[in-house]
Structure 1
């Protein structure tokens, strides 16, 4: 990524297996949930740090897999009008919620913009700040407010949201997103149950984490002259930590950010996590690291300790726990010294 925003999604097949079964339990197999008929017409919920009054959305537009996953996991497919999925994203047929995707419209395979939202007659848009919502592209929550369109921002992206920043750990932001969406759609009990299951999965992984000092881990997103990686404001930081590792750049209060190869070499990572997306396959990234004079002597590279993290397991959404469970298994099998 060339910015401090969420990564621009690219692609590779997702292994579902037991993770799929677990996610289907979360989603209630796409079952819709009836809102409380006695619920007030509006509820106030925070959009990042800003209190906003919401009516129950009926024609939601979601941007990328993380946004769709959150609503589908809450059984809200009947409230989703359509999705915007840039071509670099994984095919929706690979999603644990493929059946829900099939029930709604694909509105665009480009970036989110105001015209898509207006044409869809949407009353609610879910996206991240500086990824789906971006001032330079003319689509922000404030612009949509003026059009009478409600919006919701992923808490993970609120770190640098202008005017109303909000900071929390990525997993806590995910839990809070689901709780807030549950309140907006009047399905708070369902949201509480979904969050509870996600927390149980995290706790189980943490209880099995390898003993001893956490393994130093470098996440490689992209970049040759300078690498792009994960700071402590994006889900891979929590994935690495809960699995028993340590993100070598966990001291950076950033999201997806640029560092330099000297800092990577100094950190001496024992494992490299490759964020796998799109037209730059994971194997090409691995080949680069193995051949570049700047990286071929890294402990992780010399030991061939590479773990591939799927894009939708690395952006904010319920599939973070799929990525966590897979990475935790990898670390356990790797052994205490990598």
Structure 2
């Protein structure tokens, strides 16, 4: 009996090799399973090799994750990095060309929950395409988004390194702005209609990091319309405007006649390029640094400083 037990406790080398081979084979054919930001399960047979992105920030983040060479289609205004300009277009992020997406035969489509027409996204799913829905609402989420893109595309080494650098830079930015006096901010993204950012929008998170307070942070919409009267009543200490590109929008100085508003009285009318502030990519830290610098200027311009 002792012999039999000893024999059972030491499997033969051939059996060990067979079991190992079976495990490797099973792992090789196991699906990759993820849960996207909408709570839906996304399944891939292997890391994606042909990816279509439905938002400019998704294309940019894919490059940051080391998977830009897998991008076969994207939407208008996907212009960073420069290589993204050469990628075929499938319409705009709010109005997609579904036939163009399907014609590219992607094994993965990256959608944007709050920016895409989700009815169209559902139609892509109905066509049998695999869709991963992303919605990074805080700056912290961006690092996780980069890591997830690396997992989806099989470029984890690059993606993880990018995410690590992002987190370290974000921690430094938070530390350098901790404890600063609050600055009440109106963030204007458009003139007609007059639009701002609500509490869930990622820019509100940037404002908080810089020691600011979004005067419309109590609103639940991502990009609510507001009135001039509401802005005047809230009396912001600083107005940050984006507009289009590097040029300061002319309408920023439409506020000049309202001389009783603190922001106007102290000349705290600032501009930031929307590409580095309104895209959910690593470059948002460039925009946040500029935002923090503007709020520091507002603090210096306080009476008695």
Aligned counterpart, 1:325: 289
Moved over 6 A (4+): none
Distance 1:144 1:250 in 2: 34
The count of corresponding residues between Structure 1 and Structure 2 is 271
Q: CA deviation at 1:202?
A: 1.4
- 8 Å CA contact 1:46–1:180 kept in 2: the answer is no
Q: How far 1:238 moved relative to its partner?
A: 1.4
Matches within 5 A, 1:40-55: 41-48=30-37, 49-55=39-45
Within 5 Å, give how 1:1-338 maps onto structure 2.
41-48=30-37, 49-55=39-45, 56-85=47-76, 89=77, 92=79, 95=80, 97-98=81-82, 100-101=83-84, 104-108=86-90, 110=92, 111-135=95-119, 139-140=120-121, 142-156=122-136, 169-209=137-177, 211-224=179-192, 227-277=194-244, 282-291=248-257, 295-313=258-276, 314-336=278-300, 338=302
Q: How high is the TM-score relative to the length of structure 1?
A: 0.72
CA distance in 2, matches of 1:270, 1:218: 8
Q: Which has the higher helix share?
A: 2
3-state SS of the aligned residue for 1:208?
A: helix
**Structure 1 stretches lacking a partner, 5+ long:** 1-37, 157-168
Deviation at 1:149, TM superposition (A): 1.3
In the TM superposition, residue 146 of structure 1 has moved relative to its aligned partner by 2.2
Structure 1 residues 288 and 211: alpha-carbon distance in aligned structure 2, compared to 1, 3 A threshold: same
Match of 1:27 in 2: none
Conserved? CA contact 1:217–1:269, under 8 Å? yes
- Name the structure, 1 or 2, with higher relative contact order (CA <8 Å, separation 6+): 1
Q: TM-score, normalised by structure 2?
A: 0.79
Unmatched 5+ stretches in structure 2: 1-26
* 1:114-143 Cα shifts (integer Å, max 9, x gaps): 1220222222222312423332xxx11x32
Two-structure CA RMSD over aligned residues (Å)? 2.6
